[in-house]
Amino acid sequence: MNLQISNIFNKGPQQTQNNYQRQTNYLTSPKLLPLKQDTVSFSGGVPKSVDLLDLPSDKIIKICKKALKDKIEIGRGQEAIAYKIEDYPYYCIRQLKKLTAKGQTLGFDMKLNKYDKVNHVVAHLDSDTQLMRYIPGIPLKIMKHSDTESGIKVKQALQELVANNFPESSFKDAIKQVEEAKEKGIDFDRFGENLLVDPISQNLTCIDFSPNYHMAEYNPISFLYHAIDVDKTEHAPKILGKLAKAYAQRLLEVPVKKLNFDNLDTNLYARGFEGDPFNYFPDKTLLKETEAKLKELIAEKQNPTLHDNGFEYMVEMFKEFVDEKLINYIKPRQEFF
């Protein structure tokens, strides 16, 4: 997938009660474009009152044919191009650059495999072409511009927004998305360009999953911390804290068999590879302490003799620790002699 988006900061329309309202254009600097990601964002007119998928299949095919004929390009990647569907901004068409289905009649096949469903595919139009759902948001890492002054400012502004304004539920939903994909044998490609931040809905959405990304050190907290691309910023403890609290809440709510414990690497920071955002965590001792407490929770979750009330108490104690040590983290003063 991996589309380079030429207009990602122009958000699509958002429905509000009885009308539709265009969302904020968060950034228009051409220095930050193009971007690499899987889904597209665009501004447009008022969408049709009828959802595209509520139409008969022959009508959908006709609309998609027109979109492919108009070729209003809204994204381009290494393998595919994304096209806008006029009047239906909650969907887009993704078509391979190297077409293998030339002359093939366009159809509408909603028989999706597990990879399609995880990657927001709605239907196959032919072997080269897919109807996809539009996912609003801004990537936390801007490819090709992540090391520029503007790119760094955008990333850190988004990190600040996520750290200070996004609720625990946003992180819990993102962890759920990663965990449910893993349960199907599909891994999240844990890079910043593959995590979309929507400041309006406060959603964090993962957009690139594949069976080819299998890693021995599976850990949903590490995956999302890596995707948020936390580096030398003051937001690192708070972001880790919100991820840790969200995962602890998931441990409380979800049965053991749904938690991927067989694949789980409980070490948050044991990889040591260059570029790991945990390399920049401001307090390695606190990181190890958090990791140890998470391991205790995970072990107790698997303890068949522990009463539910006892585990609920442990989760609450863990959250209090996170609030005190991570969410309200104060950097130790440096002592000079």
Q: Which amino acid is at 78?
A: Q
Q: How far apart are CA 67 and CA 53, in angstroms?
A: 15
Dist CA 190 CA 214 (whole Å): 11
The residue type at 306: L
How many Cβ atoms from other residues are within 10 Å of residue 165's Cβ? 10
User: For 293-333, how does the pLDDT look when each residue is reduced to its tens digit (9 = 90+)?
Assistant: 999 999 999 998 877 789 999 999 999 999 999 999 987 66
Give the pair of three-digit tokens for residue 19. Answer: 């009308």
Please state the separation of Cα 212 from the chain's center in Å.
18
User: How far apart are the C-alpha atoms of 144 and 151, rounded to whole Å?
Assistant: 9
Task: Kindly report the average pLDDT of the chain as a whole number.
Answer: 80
Q: What is the pLDDT of residues 156-202, one digit of tens each?
A: 888 899 999 999 999 999 999 999 999 888 889 887 778 889 999 99
* Six token digits for residue 114: 């597990």
pLDDT band at 275 (very low <50, low <70, confident <90, very high): confident
Place of tokens 């403890």: 237
Residue 282, preceding peptide bond in cis (omega within 30° of 0): no
Q: Helix and strand tally (H, E) in the chain?
A: 8, 14
| Average confidence (pLDDT) over 6-19 | 38
Measured distance CA(327)–CA(199) in Å, rounded: 20
Q: Please say if the pLDDT value at position 3 is more than 70.
A: no
Identify the DSSP state of 75.
Answer: E
Show me where the domains of the chain are located: 3-133, 138-327
pLDDT band at 22 (very low <50, low <70, confident <90, very high): very low
pLDDT band at 15 (very low <50, low <70, confident <90, very high): very low
pLDDT over 90 percentage in the chain: 45
Strand partners, 79: none
Residue 12's pLDDT band, with cuts at 50, 70 and 90, is: very low
Say which amino acid occupies 189. Answer: D
Residue 27: per-residue pLDDT: 38
Residue of higher predicted confidence among 57 and 13: 57
CA distance 262 to 298: 12
Cβ proximity of 122 and 110 under 8 Å: yes
DSSP state of 316: H
The percent helix, strand, coil of the chain (3-state, each to 5) is 40, 20, 40
Closest residue by Cα to residue 296 from 285, 284, 310: 310
Q: Would the pLDDT of 142 be above 80?
A: no
What amino acid occupies position 313? Y
Counting Cα atoms < 13 Å in the Cβ hemisphere of 295 gives 11
Of 132, 124, 60, the residue nearest 89 (C-alpha) = 132
Cβ atoms < 10 Å from Cβ of 117: 14
What contacts 95, CB < 8 A, 6 or more positions away?
Answer: 68, 80, 81, 82, 83, 128, 129, 130
pLDDT tens sequence across 194-251: 888 999 999 999 988 887 666 657 899 999 998 888 876 789 999 999 999 999 999 9
Is 322 in contact with 289 (CB distance < 8 Å)? Answer: no
Cα distances from 253 to residues 166, 245, 249, 309, in angstroms, run: 20, 12, 6, 12
Q: What are phi and psi of 330, to 5 degrees?
A: -120, 120
pLDDT digits (tens, 9 = 90+) for 104-130: 789 999 999 988 888 889 999 999 999
At residue 41, the pLDDT reads 41
Q: Are 81 and 130 in contact (CB under 8 A)?
A: no
